[in-house]
């Protein structure tokens, strides 16, 4: 897959790939005396321990990692936001997710953001919320409503949808409906085409 060591470094260093389905951050690629390539990496979100895996390990995945809604997204404790994260098909020679090939959109901001979106952008990959999004760990639809009601924060229940103040938000599109009595979601008329996607996700 990789032509030589420099090629592997160029494509993988500082990128996020997956090992046994879990996101890892590649710190460097090296080669041992037996000419086996291996990767120095950090697990996410805890980046404290350096670990090693052979580059030909079958449990490594170089496929694009799934992204989506991060809500509630807390950074520096007091700032509560809703962020939609996606990969860009950028013309760079990188395999995996890299600071140069992802982007975020701030959907809702419920607290002060002193350093703005750029701070979130640079630090998002080491957060628990990022990890949960990659893993698809979301509360159920009804749990998300309850959490949102209790905390007052937007809460995602899938990669595509989140709930805030009994309003239904979808990807970067914005508000597409409301939550009515008995937790029933009602899509606005012009977003009625989303019914099947919503039924699948809730």
Distance in Å, CB of 64 to other proteins, minimum: 4
Query: Judged by CB, which is closer to other proteins: 76, or 105?
Result: 105
User: Smallest gap, in angstroms, from Cβ of residue 190 to other proteins?
Assistant: 7
Residues near other proteins (CB under 8 A) are 1, 3-4, 7, 11, 62-64, 67, 86-95, 101, 103, 105, 171-173, 190, 193-194, 196-197
In the bound state with other proteins, the residue whose beta carbon lies nearer, of 84 and 153, is 84
Give the pair of three-digit tokens for residue 104.
Answer: 């975020």
Cβ-based nearer residue to other proteins, 2 or 40: 2
| CB closer to other proteins out of 92 and 99 | 92
118: burial class by Cβ within 10 Å (0-12, 13-18, 19+)? exposed
CB of 189 to other proteins, least distance (A): 11
The alpha carbon dihedral of 65, 68, 69, 74 has a sign of: positive
- Sequence length of the chain is 202
Q: In the 8-state DSSP scheme, what is residue 171?
A: T
Q: Would you call 30 exposed, middle or buried from its count of C-beta atoms within 10 A (0-12, 13-18, 19+)?
A: middle
CA distance 38 to 151: 44
CB of 150 to other proteins, least distance (A): 30
């Amino acid at each position: 897959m990789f032509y030589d060591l420099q090629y592997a470094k160029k494509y993988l260093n500082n990128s996020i790939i997956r090992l046994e389905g879990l996101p890892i951050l590649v710190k460097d690629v090296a080669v041992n005396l037996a000419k086996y390539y291996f990767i120095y990496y950090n697990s996410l979100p805890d980046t404290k321990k350096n670990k090693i895996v052979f580059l030909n390990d079958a449990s490594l995945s170089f496929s694009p990692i799934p992204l989506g809604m991060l809500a509630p997204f807390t950074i520096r404790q007091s700032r509560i936001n809703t962020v939609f994260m996606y990969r860009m098909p950028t013309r760079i020679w990188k395999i995996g997710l890299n600071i140069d090939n992802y982007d975020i959109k701030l959907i809702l901001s419920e607290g002060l953001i002193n350093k703005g979106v750029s701070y979130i952008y640079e630090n998002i990959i080491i957060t628990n919320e990022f990890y949960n999004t990659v893993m698809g760990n979301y509360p159920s639809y009804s749990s998300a409503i309850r959490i949102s009601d209790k905390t007052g924060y937007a809460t995602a229940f899938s990669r595509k949808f989140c709930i805030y103040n009994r309003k239904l938000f979808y990807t970067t599109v914005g508000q597409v409906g409301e939550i009515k009595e008995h937790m029933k979601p009602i899509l606005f008329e012009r977003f009625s085409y989303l019914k099947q996607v919503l039924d699948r996700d809730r």
